[in-house]
Amino acid sequence: MTAQDGHRLGGADPKPQAQQAPPGQPPGGAPLPHASGKKLYVDPAEAGQALAYLDQAVSKLQESYDHSSALDHIQKPGNENPSDGFAKVASDVGKQKRAEILQDINGLRAMYQELKATLDNHHETEHANADNLRRMQR
Amino acid sequence: MTARLRTAAAGVSLAAITLFATSCSSPTVGKPGAGDSPSSSANSGGQTSLPHDGAPKVPNPVDISKFKAQPCTTLTANQLQTLGVQGQAKPDPQSSTGSQCTWGGGVEATRVNIVFVPNSGGLSDLYKLNKQKGHFYRFEPQDPVNGFPAVLENLDKNQLSNGICAYDIGMNDRDAVTVLLQEQPGGNPCDDVKQVALSATKTMKNGGS
């Protein structure tokens, strides 16, 4: 979801702001302007596709989460020290990966929900405007 | 006398080599067992018989080799519909972390992942892992699921609050299945994963229907 994809995520804010933090992380303790940590600007006509991309991204991350969870079920091959080390590294790597993936999932989930709420709001306003116009034309 | 000593020394060396070869030729990762013979349980970290480490014996074991080969057949279309799980099934029978299948996923949809644990000690291996301090955040034996011993498992404290919970089920003494469920936070993933576990074990118990 970059400019190359034709989406204008962050498009109304061309210069990255120093205080903008990655999803889910507050910039320097300042209150977050949005749950996702960054304001999004998406053309309403393309918002549906943006939502689909976010959904796919979450799905991919969940797949990684599945695999990192399974790392914790790996049994050490033998009873000697290298085997102990192997199993511990597999478990620790899995744990670290899971924490990172969950953070990413939560950030994308917040973006998705915020964008969806904004889009719903936009559609409601558009319908209301259309109704008003029809009433005025009668 | 010297010749006898030499013969004895050679015998000891041969025994040592044999022992070394035996201990190094029993890797368990990615070597799922198909049957239920106790003789092959030497793969399970040097243990000689199953179950071990406090794991319960599976009272009525079933052979799940055909489900391992086709992991997406563990849940039927009717069961998926009843459970409300949508989306295409994604099989991965050759995964290094165990043969598995995944259904659903995304921001709003529930995701179900069923993994055939890639060890040959079944639930015993998981009970053994649980003896390592801090390996599982939560590892609680549950009432049997369709007659199969089950354990509720959380790998870390973040899982529940993020809508994630898992059940490990012993299908026979050598084979365990993990059902992992991811859903939107705020629900009760451990209750939901139990329902999935009930469905999957029912399918495997009935041989695929």
Nearest to B103 by CA among B199, B190, B176, B202: B199
Quick check: is B10 in a domain? no
Question: What are the tens digits of pLDDT across the range A1-55?
Answer: 443 433 332 233 443 343 444 555 554 544 455 555 666 677 888 888 999 999 9
B5-14, B74-83, B95-104: range with lowest mean pLDDT: B5-14
Q: Specify the long-range contacts of residues A98-103, CB closer than 8 Å, at least 24 apart.
A: A98/A65, A98/A68, A98/A69, A98/B155, A98/B156, A98/B158, A99/B156, A99/B158, A101/A61, A101/A64, A101/A65, A101/A68, A102/A65, A102/B158, A102/B162, A103/A24
Cβ <8 Å between A95 and B155:
yes
Whether the CB-CB separation of B62 and B177 falls below 8 Å is answered with no
DSSP A74: P
* Count of domains observed in chain B: 1
Quick check: is B48 in a domain? yes
DSSP A41: -
**Average pLDDT over chain A, rounded to whole?**
76
Q: Which residues of A57-70 are buried (b: 16+ CB within 10 A; e: fewer)?
A: bbbbbbbebbbbbb
Is 0.90 exceeded by the ipTM? Answer: no
B127-148 average pLDDT score = 92
* Calpha distance A54→A109 (Å, rounded): 8
What is the reported pLDDT for B62?
96
Nearest CA in chain B to A82: B24
Quick check: is B22 in a domain? no
Quick check: is B25 in a domain? no
* Residue A133 phi, psi (nearest 5): -60, -45
DSSP A78: S
Nearest to A117 by CA among A57, A61, A34, A24: A34
Over pLDDT 90: what percentage of chain B? 59
Cβ <8 Å between B102 and A95:
no
Q: For residue B154, what are the domain limits?
A: 40-205
Nearest to B46 by CA among B18, B27, B69: B27
* Count of domains observed in chain A: 1
Q: For residue A44, what are the domain limits?
A: 3-137
Nearest CA in chain B to A55: B106
Quick check: is B162 in a domain? yes
B9-13, B144-148, B183-187: range with lowest mean pLDDT: B9-13
Quick check: is B127 in a domain? yes
Chain A: residues touching B (Cβ < 8 Å): 54-56, 58-59, 62-63, 65-67, 69-80, 91, 94-95, 98-99, 102, 105-106, 108-109, 112-113
Cβ <8 Å between A70 and B111:
no
Cβ <8 Å between A106 and B162:
yes
Residue type, position B116, single letter: F
Quick check: is B179 in a domain? yes
* Calpha distance A49→A58 (Å, rounded): 14
Nearest CA in chain A to B106: A59
Q: What is the CATH number of the domain that holds B129?
A: 3.40.1000
Quick check: is B32 in a domain? no
